[in-house]
């Protein structure tokens, strides 16, 4: 009984923290429609800042608290709202998700820049020296008492704010009908700014309260909040009382798990993973609240042409060969992950880009693929690749079944929970056997070695040969993705993304379609993971955890998740440009960790993705046959010169990169010369935008008198 009471108190204190953070999350979600994945990261930053002020600089506790909670955190919230979130109206759920995930990545990076992760930072609880209070047979520490009191105060304060003040009522009004709130005279920007300021302040409060109880580490602290997400979902992202109930359920469950879970070698990971598992259960069992608003999305991904796809695949393979033959061994090791990460990113294209189903656990599938490769691919047996695809596809299909009833942010949270459960529990399991039939030994509680792949008697054991192999696999898979997009299955996926209801009324089997696309995508990720594993030669769970996977997702979406090029863009910037920048500018290399975050945050400005712009930019080359041929010839020539060692790598790289730019200029000039008055009338508006001049020409040919473009002649 004493034990029960003790863990109830522990659980309630944790619940109180979750409740505070979750209510901030719900506040910003309901008033602005943005589910802030970075809520935990705000708390994390606040915890670090408080540590800095209070323990490093020795400020008095009240001053440090006031500065963090009432000055810095609200200002930070306002900054996020003004600079980032305001641009996200009318963007898709995926874009919003990527922006807030990028914020999370960026903030973890920022914390690691400012506070060296290798330094230990002692963090005292409040009134740590005071004696705990006795309640009956057990005791409660002052910190626990304060935490619970704070949560109650927050509950009362929020209730007062939302029901008794005009700005609070305006926040709730904005949830109901934002345009109507403006017609009443409420200033919506002020309302959302206020919500972000309070939400961020609550996150900070939770962060400071939780920090003394766990190691002060940016990633852990940011994801600890996954329990608060479960509480928020429990409150259906809307009802504050239910959020508090949810927080108590989640917090107490965690408390009792730590008290009553039997001690054996399989279960410590389960306790760490329990918040994620609880989140998953809450997502599955509770009816998902309707997501806010219909998103009229600004995104547009054109259908890839056969010719373009073949050109892209050929280009990728050529790039692989060129890199493999020109780069030094150490460089090949550094940049070798471009195409294996690319394959994992590519697995997102059918799932997220076509079907609109968000998955944050692709890297976990890759991890499973790598395990399969490690255990079944002795001496590089290529059958292991087949197994890797089949096993991950099967797991993907199994994950898809419960995930079927989830969509949007719920699906994102569910897959993130799955990834965390794998990271913290499954991947750390020691050897175990299933029904005494198989012995499964995942990462051997550390790392496993993976043999290089052998195919047709050739062993891919050098970085160069792996580069060629991976680029060809990427190229083939990109053709597969294009074939899907152009085929019947792709049309089904796109239709499902646009309207599930409409698809159901047309008799489309949503269940089969979703399971298939999940399995396909998981299989691709598994293949990527298996190849990555055999490239790295030794893999550990850290290679495949959620936080490592998030930048891949974010950057692929930044590149443009609707096309294979977007996946390549994501992989090149993550595994190619970042190491390159670090090599070029060693003095700032530590600051580069926030770049993926910044790139994702920039997505709000250009939801079609960077590749879309790049393609538009380089389109003139493809349109002019002469220039296209000339470009290829020049590139091949440069490669030949490089192979003869007449120029060094830097010169070669520079010339190779400038060639397409010169080609664009040349193509544009050539076309302008030819275009003067020669474009036939029936081709107007097809290759170039329709202009008033075209209307005039058309009128002249048809013998019409000049008419104003949109009429109004009768008015």
Partner 1 sequence: MSNLSAVEPPDNPARSNETGHQDHNLLELRGIRAAYERIDVLFGVDLVVPEASVVALLGPNGAGKTTTLRVAAGLHVPSAGDVLIAGRRVNGAKPEELARHGLCMIPEGRGIFPNLTVRENLRMMTYVGRSLAEIEEIAYSRFPRLAERRTQTAGTLSGGEQQMLAMARGMATEPALLILDELSMGLAPIIVAELYEMVAQVARSGVSILVVEQFASTVLGVADYAAIMVHGRIERAGRPDELAADLSKAYLGG
Q: In angstroms, give the least distance from the CB of 686 to partner 1.
A: 16
Q: Which of 1, 119, 134, 183 binds partner 1 (CB under 8 A)?
A: 183
Q: Which one, 606 or 656, has the nearer CB to partner 1?
A: 606
Q: In angstroms, give the least distance from the CB of 185 to partner 1.
A: 3
Q: In angstroms, give the least distance from the CB of 634 to partner 1.
A: 39
Q: In angstroms, give the least distance from the CB of 151 to partner 1.
A: 25
Q: Which of 62, 122, 179, 677 binds partner 1 (CB under 8 A)?
A: 179
What is the DSSP track for 670-700? HHHHHHTTTS-GGGTTTSS---HHHHHHHHH
Those residues whose C-beta lies under 8 Å from the C-beta of residue 368, and which sit 6 or more positions away, are 388, 391, 392, 395, 422, 526, 529
Q: Which one, 169 or 318, has the nearer CB to partner 1?
A: 169
Q: Which of 42, 98, 170, 419 binds partner 1 (CB under 8 A)?
A: 170
Q: In angstroms, give the least distance from the CB of 175 to partner 1.
A: 7
Are the beta carbons of 206 and 3 closer than 8 angstroms? no
Are the beta carbons of 14 and 251 closer than 8 angstroms? yes
Name the residue among 547, 562, 575 with its Cα closest to residue 607: 562
SS3 state of residue 135? strand
Beta bridge partners of residue 76, listed in sequence order: none
Q: Which of 130, 184, 328, 691 binds partner 1 (CB under 8 A)?
A: 184
Q: In angstroms, give the least distance from the CB of 186 to partner 1.
A: 6
Q: Which of 294, 307, 488, 710 binds partner 1 (CB under 8 A)?
A: 710
Q: Which one, 187 or 700, has the nearer CB to partner 1?
A: 187
Please report, to the nearest 10 degrees, the dihedral formed by the alpha carbons of residues 19, 67, 132, 13 taken in order: 10
Q: Is residue 173 at the binding interface for partner 1, with CB under 8 A as the rule?
A: yes
**Contacting range for partner 1; rule: CB under 8 A; set: 14-22, 468-476, 499-507, 705-713:** 705-713
Q: Which of 175, 270, 386, 480 binds partner 1 (CB under 8 A)?
A: 175
Q: In angstroms, give the least distance from the CB of 387 to partner 1.
A: 48
Q: In angstroms, give the least distance from the CB of 498 to partner 1.
A: 16
Those residues whose C-beta lies under 8 Å from the C-beta of residue 505, and which sit 6 or more positions away, are none
Q: In angstroms, give the least distance from the CB of 170 to partner 1.
A: 7
Q: Which of 8, 182, 220, 465 binds partner 1 (CB under 8 A)?
A: 182
Write out the binding residues for partner 1, residues 140-169 only, by CB under 8 A.
Answer: 163, 166, 169
Give 650: exposed, middle or buried? Use CB within 10 Å, 0-12, 13-18, 19+.
exposed
Q: Is residue 688 at the binding interface for partner 1, with CB under 8 A as the rule?
A: no
Q: Is residue 176 at the binding interface for partner 1, with CB under 8 A as the rule?
A: yes
**Contacting range for partner 1; rule: CB under 8 A; set: 6-14, 171-179, 445-453, 650-658:** 171-179
Q: Which of 42, 64, 72, 181 binds partner 1 (CB under 8 A)?
A: 181
Residue 59's φ and ψ, nearest 5 degrees, are -65, 155
Name the residue among 702, 679, 704, 703 with its Cα closest to residue 691: 679
Are the beta carbons of 306 and 616 closer than 8 angstroms? no
Helices 226-234, 2-32: crossing angle, 10 deg rounding: 70
The pairing of strands 458-459 and 454-455 is: antiparallel
- The CA distance from 52 to 42, in Å, is 15
Q: In Å, how far are 74, 352, 420 from 443, measured between CA atoms?
A: 43, 29, 16
Q: Is residue 686 at the binding interface for partner 1, with CB under 8 A as the rule?
A: no
Q: Which one, 179 or 436, has the nearer CB to partner 1?
A: 179
Q: Which of 3, 187, 378, 405 binds partner 1 (CB under 8 A)?
A: 187
Q: Which one, 183 or 437, has the nearer CB to partner 1?
A: 183
- The CA distance from 283 to 530, in Å, is 31
Q: Is residue 689 at the binding interface for partner 1, with CB under 8 A as the rule?
A: no
**What are the structure tokens assigned to 172, written together?**
């709730």
Are the beta carbons of 286 and 442 closer than 8 angstroms? no
Work out whether the CA dihedral 384, 386, 390, 392 comes out positive or negative.
positive
- The CA distance from 12 to 15, in Å, is 5
The continuous run of DSSP H or E covering 93 comes out as helix 93-114
**What are the structure tokens assigned to 67, written together?**
């500065």
Q: In angstroms, give the least distance from the CB of 714 to partner 1.
A: 7
**How many amino acids of this chain bind partner 1 (CB under 8 A)?**
24
Q: Give the number of residues written for the chain.
A: 715
**Contacting range for partner 1; rule: CB under 8 A; set: 174-182, 198-206, 221-229, 283-291:** 174-182
- The CA distance from 704 to 681, in Å, is 15
Q: In angstroms, give the least distance from the CB of 287 to partner 1.
A: 18
Q: Is residue 680 at the binding interface for partner 1, with CB under 8 A as the rule?
A: no
**Contacting range for partner 1; rule: CB under 8 A; set: 175-183, 198-206, 379-387, 578-586:** 175-183
Q: In angstroms, give the least distance from the CB of 261 to partner 1.
A: 41
Q: Which of 307, 488, 672, 714 binds partner 1 (CB under 8 A)?
A: 714
Q: Which of 185, 262, 446, 457 binds partner 1 (CB under 8 A)?
A: 185
Q: Which one, 175 or 632, has the nearer CB to partner 1?
A: 175
Write out the binding residues for partner 1, residues 100-139 only, by CB under 8 A.
Answer: none
Q: Which of 180, 455, 585, 675 binds partner 1 (CB under 8 A)?
A: 180
**Contacting range for partner 1; rule: CB under 8 A; set: 60-68, 170-178, 304-312, 522-530:** 170-178
Q: In angstroms, give the least distance from the CB of 169 to partner 1.
A: 5
Give Cα 484 to chain centroid, integer Å: 23
Q: In angstroms, give the least distance from the CB of 193 to partner 1.
A: 14
Rg over CA atoms, the chain: 28
Task: Tell me the longest C-alpha to C-alpha distance in the chain.
Answer: 100
Work out whether the CA dihedral 495, 501, 502, 505 comes out positive or negative.
positive
Q: Which of 82, 86, 172, 696 binds partner 1 (CB under 8 A)?
A: 172
Q: In Å, how far are 72, 211, 395, 544, 571 from 46, measured between CA atoms?
A: 8, 10, 38, 28, 32
Residues forming the site for partner 1 (CB under 8 A): 163, 166, 169-170, 172-173, 175-177, 179-188, 710-712, 714-715
């Amino acid at each position: 009984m004493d034990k029960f009471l003790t863990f109830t108190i522990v659980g309630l204190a944790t619940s109180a923290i979750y409740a505070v953070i979750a209510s901030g999350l719900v506040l910003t979600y309901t008033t602005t429609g943005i589910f802030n994945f970075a809520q935990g990261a705000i708390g994390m930053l606040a915890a670090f800042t408080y540590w800095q002020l209070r323990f490093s600089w020795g400020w008095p506790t009240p001053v440090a608290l006031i500065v963090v909670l009432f000055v810095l955190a609200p200002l930070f919230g306002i900054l996020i709202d003004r600079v980032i979130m305001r641009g996200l109206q009318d963007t898709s759920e995926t874009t919003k998700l990527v922006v807030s995930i990028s914020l999370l990545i960026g903030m973890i990076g920022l914390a690691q820049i400012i506070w060296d992760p290798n330094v230990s930072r002692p963090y005292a609880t409040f009134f740590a020296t005071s004696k705990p209070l006795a309640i009956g047979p057990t005791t409660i520490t002052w910190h626990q008492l304060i935490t619970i009191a704070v949560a109650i105060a927050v509950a009362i304060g929020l209730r007062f704010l939302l029901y008794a003040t005009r700005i609070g009522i305006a926040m709730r009004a904005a949830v109901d009908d934002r345009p109507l709130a403006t017609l009443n005279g409420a200033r919506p920007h002020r309302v959302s700014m206020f919500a972000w300021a309070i939400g961020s302040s609550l996150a900070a409060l939770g962060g400071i309260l939780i920090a003394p109880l766990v190691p002060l580490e940016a990633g852990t602290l940011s994801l600890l909040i996954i329990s608060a997400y479960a509480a928020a979902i429990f409150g259906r992202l809307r009802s504050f009382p239910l959020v508090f109930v949810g927080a108590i359920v989640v917090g107490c469950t965690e408390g009792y798990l730590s008290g009553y879970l039997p001690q054996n070698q399989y279960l410590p990971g389960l306790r760490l993973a329990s918040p994620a598992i609880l989140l998953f259960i809450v997502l599955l069992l509770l009816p998902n609240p309707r997501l806010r608003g219909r998103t009229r999305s600004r995104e547009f991904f054109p259908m890839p042409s056969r010719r373009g796809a073949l050109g892209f695949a050929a280009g990728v393979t050529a790039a692989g060969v060129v890199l493999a033959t020109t780069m030094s061994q150490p460089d090949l090791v550094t940049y070798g992950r471009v195409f294996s990460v690319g394959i994992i990113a590519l697995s997102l294209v059918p799932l997220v880009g076509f079907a609109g189903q968000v998955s944050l656990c692709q890297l976990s599938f890759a991890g499973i693929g790598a395990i399969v490769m490690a255990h079944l691919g002795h001496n590089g047996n290529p059958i292991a690749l087949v197994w890797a695809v089949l096993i991950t596809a099967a797991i993907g299909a199994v994950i898809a079944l419960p995930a079927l009833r989830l969509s949007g942010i719920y699906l994102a949270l569910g897959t993130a929970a799955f990834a965390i459960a794998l990271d913290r529990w499954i991947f750390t399991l020691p050897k175990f056997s299933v029904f005494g039939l198989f012995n499964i030994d995942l990462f051997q509680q550390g790392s496993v070695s993976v043999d290089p792949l052998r195919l047709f008697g050739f062993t891919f054991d050098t970085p160069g040969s792996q580069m060629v192999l991976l680029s060809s696999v990427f190229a083939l898979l990109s053709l597969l993705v294009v074939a899907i997009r152009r085929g019947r299955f792709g049309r089904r996926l796109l239709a499902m993304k646009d309207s599930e209801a409409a698809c159901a009324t047309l008799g489309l089997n949503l269940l089969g379609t979703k399971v298939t696309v999940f399995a396909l995508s998981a299989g691709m990720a598994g293949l990527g993971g298996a190849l990555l594993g055999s490239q790295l030669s030794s893999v550990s769970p850290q290679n495949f955890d959620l936080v490592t996977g998030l930048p891949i997702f974010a950057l692929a979406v930044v590149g443009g998740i609707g096309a294979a090029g977007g996946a390549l863009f994501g992989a090149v910037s993550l595994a190619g440009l970042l190491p390159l920048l670090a090599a070029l500018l060693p003095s700032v290399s530590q600051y580069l960790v926030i770049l993926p975050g910044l790139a994702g945050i920039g997505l709000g400005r250009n939801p079609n993705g960077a590749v879309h712009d790049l393609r538009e930019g380089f389109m003139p080359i493809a349109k002019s046959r002469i220039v296209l041929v000339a470009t290829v010839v020049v590139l091949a020539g440069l490669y030949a010169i490089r192979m003869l060692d007449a120029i060094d790598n830097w010169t070669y790289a520079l010339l190779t990169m400038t060639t397409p730019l010169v080609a664009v200029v040349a193509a544009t000039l050539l076309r302008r010369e030819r275009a003067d008055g020669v474009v036939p009338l029936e081709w107007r508006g097809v290759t170039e935008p329709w202009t008033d001049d075209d209307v005039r020409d058309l009128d002249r040919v048809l013998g019409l008198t000049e008419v104003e473009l949109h009429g109004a002649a009768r008015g």
